[in-house]
Amino acid sequence: MHTPHSPGFTASLTASLTAASIGVLVIFGGIAPASAATGDAQLSVFHGVPGLTVDVYVNNKLTIDNFKPGDMAGPLDLPAGTYTVAITASDATDASKPAIGPVDLKLEAGMNYTAVAHLGADAKPTATLFTNDTSTIAAGSGRLVVRHVAAAPAVDVLANGAVAISNLSNPKESVLVIPAGTISAVVAATGTTAPVIGPADVKVAEGVDTIVYAWGSLADKNLAVAVQTVSGMNSDPNGIPAGEAGLVATNRPADQTPLWVGGIGVLVLLGLGSATFLGLRRARR
Amino acid sequence: MRIRIEALGIDMGIEAVGLGDSGGMGLPKNPAIAAWYKFGPAPASAAGATVIAAHVDSLEYDIGPFSRLASAPAGTEIVLSLADGSERRYSVASVTLTLKPDVPWPTIFDRTGPARLTLVTCGGEFDYTARRYLSNVIVSATPVP
């Protein structure tokens, strides 16, 4: 890990500015899984360790250079298989002295993953591989996923003031399918409502996984949220019911009156009533 | 937003809607108000089908303007006035009457492919017991440059 006083500072600063201007630099070309399988997996990588700019090595090859806290890289299409990931200080020259890992990530074909470098509940850097749910979501709804990857005790998540998720602990996730819209979210210690993060507006789009990471450290007062979205799980309404009276039906009775309904329409009864009344009046004449 | 189809005497306001109670598109009760499916492509979207629907009739409000869609000839001009004051023009490509179980909903609500406009209402035979039409009238229209 470099410090502001290390010899590499100027070079690192330049490199990171360049990386920032073009997005996170990811070099995944030519990496083959240790055990090959058919089909691709998608992998995103989130960096949730405060104060530590890192390099990410996959199968001993530098893949993400100068990866900064709070940054998200990917998604990358990778052939299914097992990948060995090591995270080093950004001035490392190879993967031999990882700060985190090495860990083996087993990626299955057709699946969508996010690998997260983060602090454990004990504040030690670690890594967790989350599987992103890409199953279809009911029309009109979105999937809200909250992942606790912060050095903090278990939390509750309040959505619009009500507890939506309770007792979520590092490194677990909780998943809610809710009507699409924007919610005001607060993260609080379990059993309390005082925000340790938020309130923050979170837009949960229809047919999309909105994945919220609570990261950082409670003790160091740098808790933060990062949001990742995975889209394309939308589905369709099951129909368009657009009529209720049969007024333009092609099978309406030949002598139909405008408000014929179910054979005993109100106006029909009124009409019959008036006819009878008129008939009676005529009969009396 | 408004929809105008001069040839059919249609000029209606449009509301943004989502889902109704039964998982179908939720339309305003009044057949004189059209509804745009807000989770699908907007008229300004570069891709996909913008879906606008309205009730064909109502026990409370009588027959609605969309009842005239069924007789729209190919080439009929449709004009959408957007919230920003701009207008988009479309030309009717086809009008079909399809039994509801046979309607290809993934095609109707397609969010990909060429930008197009799809108008939907009810039509065909009526089930007087269930109080529902058995078919949807589906108008496909393509943008006019």
Q: What is the pLDDT of residues A57-111, one digit of tens each?
A: 999 999 999 999 999 998 989 999 999 999 999 999 999 999 998 999 999 999 9
> Torsions phi, psi of B71, nearest 5?
-105, 15
Domain around A127: 1-131
Of A234, A240, A247, the CB nearest to B24: A240
Average pLDDT, chain A: 81
Residue contact A140–B18, C-beta within 8 A: yes
Q: Does residue A285 belong to any structural domain of this protein? A: no
Token pair for B117: 């406009």
For residue B103, the distance in angstroms to the closest alpha carbon of chain A comes to: 8
| 3-state secondary structure string across A131-168 | EECCCCCCCCEEEEEEEEEEECCCEEEEECCEEEEEEE
* Best residue in A203, A233, A247, A248 for a mutation probing chain B (most B CBs within 10 Å): A248
Residue pLDDT, tens place only, A254-264: 655 555 444 44
- What is residue A202's three-state secondary structure? strand
Q: Do A237 and B120 touch (CB under 8 A)?
A: no
Chain B positions touching A259 (Cβ under 8 A) are: 59
Nearest CA in chain B to A206: B39
What distance in Å separates the CA atoms of residue A162 and residue A178, rounded to the nearest whole number?
13
**Inter-chain contact A243–B109, Cβ cutoff 8 Å?**
no
The complex scores an ipTM of 0.96
- Domain ranges, residue B52: 2-144
pLDDT in tens, B57-106: 999 999 999 999 999 999 999 999 999 999 999 999 999 999 999 999 99
Q: For chain A, what is the domain count? A: 3
pLDDT-above-70 percentage for chain A: 75
Indicate whether A204 belongs to any domain. Answer: yes
Cβ contacts of B66 on chain A, cutoff 8 Å: 242
Q: Do A249 and B27 touch (CB under 8 A)?
A: no
Q: Is residue A210 part of a domain?
A: yes
Q: In whole angstroms, what separates CA A26 from the centre of its chain?
A: 22
Cα–Cα distance measured from residue A197 to residue A191, given in angstroms and rounded to the nearest whole number = 15
Residues A8 and A109 in one domain: yes
* Bridge partner list, A87: A56, A100
Domain count, chain B: 1
| CATH number of the domain bearing residue B114 | 2.40.260.10
Tokens 């808790």 identify what position? A223
